[in-house]
Structure 1
């Protein structure tokens, strides 16, 4: 049975792997590094959106201009060293070991409440497992809000489906195709990620309500998605994913019950200290 652990201290990295990769959700409350991150991100959002209240901006800015500004901010956010540094400090504060962990670039996630202001990657995501895309059983997702959330504006989990197969599009999704299309500027013609073919029952959904400064860790195997039904209020968050070699060599892995993507994708992950690729480390360890 999936459990939610609320934490105020670091855990040994082996414990983080054991708990998350068996389905538990971990929430660290009020990490100081995330307070720094939120302060930096808030200033960036106000500047980039040209508005003093990002949460309610949909009421004041036309959809096309809103999407243009958000897309520019997503690129700016991903490249900001202060934001990346604060997120890395927060990961280390949970007990994750940077020396043998690999992560992917931070993503600014903006989920508008109105259909008119939504676009590719700027919308509620359907239910999905991240592992359908990566095929890496040791992947751990890390998620934190930039502003307060509510049960109508947060991340959703389907814990009863942790080990239950659900119909999905993973067999027809290939990262190499998406990568090629991205390089040629034609990615809009291909799905961002594999998703369920039938939306799970609403009664199975469990929202996790967090505050700025909180960090959520969960396995990429968890079926999860987005909700943004609080009228006129957008959701802003950031996220990354990690793979820790100590979990790989220890044989820790979430179960694959329904993922059928044609390849493993270590390409997303770089070493948290020296940026070397995960693929090279797996090959060196005889695991690639």
Structure 2
């Protein structure tokens, strides 16, 4: 599988989704709506860190104090009503139909340098597909750096595995059970992370890999079926980024999306999504349909 990276492409959203479902990646320059979203995130981040530079504060704080700060900062961003106003503008800026496109809550992610904090609230993700975590195969991932990033602190794609199965632990993952037992305990995992998560159960080749380095406020879009991982951060600076996910209701209804080559999880994340133009949830019948198919082992 060869992945192509398209910069500032002019294709429409339907064409782009078809290409994303085949493993392509799209990158866009910073634009007014993403710049506003990043500016809002920076306000919250700087307020939380006080007089410290958020990107270098890890060198001046005990790790437990840093983790506690993130445990307060991240939910403040995720659940802030301003985000539900800003995200539809970002999505519309990229040519999506707000009446047909649904999004989930944005996450404020961090990747600290030199193994300072790689578990719990600042989890360094092993190679994985979001589809191992009960995501629909029509899911599109959006990733936006809050500050400048480098090849040493972004994420890596492992495109040879887009259409190649990887033996993994997704069969033991159920989204509802994860929400009930593990999601809200992230802040308690500082020195290590004991939560059971789907991961490769065979050796995989991390090279060759693709690292995309957008500007601050730029947007990276890729399929939730892409195998990707957190790059071991050796930059000396903590990376802050925003990510969220979208689905188009026509894709959900038609079960259109990337191929399922190896996911065996149960449950669905569809109830996390709301419609851009009025924040209405995904129809419950669709969530139930996806849960039934997952239990039956049908993608």
2:206 to 180, 189, 202: 202
2:233 pairs with 1:232: no
Paired with 1:131 and 1:195, the residues of 2 have a C-alpha distance of 12
2:6 pairs with 1:5: yes
Paired with 1:195 and 1:237, the residues of 2 have a C-alpha distance of 22
Please report how far the alpha carbon of residue 216 of structure 1 lies from its aligned counterpart in structure 2 after TM superposition.
1.0
Aligned residues between the structures? 287
Paired with 1:208 and 1:259, the residues of 2 have a C-alpha distance of 25
Is contact 1:178-1:190 (8 Å) kept? no
TM-score normalised over the length of structure 1: 0.89
RMSD over equivalenced CA pairs, Å: 2.7
Paired with 1:178 and 1:213, the residues of 2 have a C-alpha distance of 31
Question: Secondary structure at 2:56's aligned position in 1?
Answer: helix
Is contact 1:143-1:237 (8 Å) kept? yes
Question: Secondary structure at 2:231's aligned position in 1?
Answer: strand
TM-score normalised over the length of structure 2: 0.86
Query: Residues 58 and 171 of structure 1: is their aligned pair in 2 closer, same or farther, counting only changes over 3 Å?
Result: same
Please report how far the alpha carbon of residue 145 of structure 1 lies from its aligned counterpart in structure 2 after TM superposition.
0.6
Is contact 1:171-1:260 (8 Å) kept? yes
Flag structure 2 segments of 5+ consecutive residues without an equivalent.
293-299
2:116 aligns with 116
Query: Residues 116 and 39 of structure 1: is their aligned pair in 2 closer, same or farther, counting only changes over 3 Å?
Result: same
1:59 aligns with 59
2:167 pairs with 1:167: yes
Question: Secondary structure at 1:91's aligned position in 2?
Answer: helix
2:267 pairs with 1:263: yes
Please report how far the alpha carbon of residue 285 of structure 1 lies from its aligned counterpart in structure 2 after TM superposition.
10
- Structure 1 residues 32-74: Cα deviation after superposition (integer angstroms, max 9, x where no partner): 1111122221121111122441111111111111110011110
Is contact 2:9-2:26 (8 Å) kept? no
Flag structure 1 segments of 5+ consecutive residues without an equivalent.
none
1:213 aligns with 217
2:295 aligns with none
- Structure 1 residues 239-258: Cα deviation after superposition (integer angstroms, max 9, x where no partner): 11111012335663100000
Is contact 1:67-1:118 (8 Å) kept? no
Please report how far the alpha carbon of residue 116 of structure 1 lies from its aligned counterpart in structure 2 after TM superposition.
3.5
1:39-54 matched pairs, under 5 angstroms: 39-54=39-54
Query: Residues 192 and 284 of structure 1: is their aligned pair in 2 closer, same or farther, counting only changes over 3 Å?
Result: closer
